[in-house]
Amino acid sequence: MRDESRMVMTGVDVQFDSVSGRWRAGCDDPAGEARLLVLAETRERAERLLDERWRARIEQLDHDEEEER
């Protein structure tokens, strides 16, 4: 199990996307595979969704790691 308290999001970027009219938030994937991206109607919601997606990705990595054992 990963120590989530010591893991930090890297490459965080939050910007307003004028084309879609929504806030776009992204960060590096904890596994280094790709960027995690979300779109939302407010900056706060985009930041919250990104945090939820990042945590879910960590849980998935932990699950995959346990299955490999």
Whole-structure pTM value:
0.84
Using one digit for the tens of pLDDT, what is the confidence trace for 1-28? Answer: 455 556 789 999 999 999 999 999 999 9
Average pLDDT (55-69) is 90
The Cα–Cα gap between 14 and 50 comes to 10
Q: Which helix (H) or strand (E) holds 17?
A: strand 13-17
Token pair for 10: 């890297």
Q: Tell me, what DSSP letter sits at residue 53?
A: H
pLDDT at residue 65 tops 60: yes
The half-sphere exposure of 63 on its side-chain side, counting CA atoms within 13 A, is 6
At 56 the three-state DSSP class reads helix
Token pair for 2: 């990963």
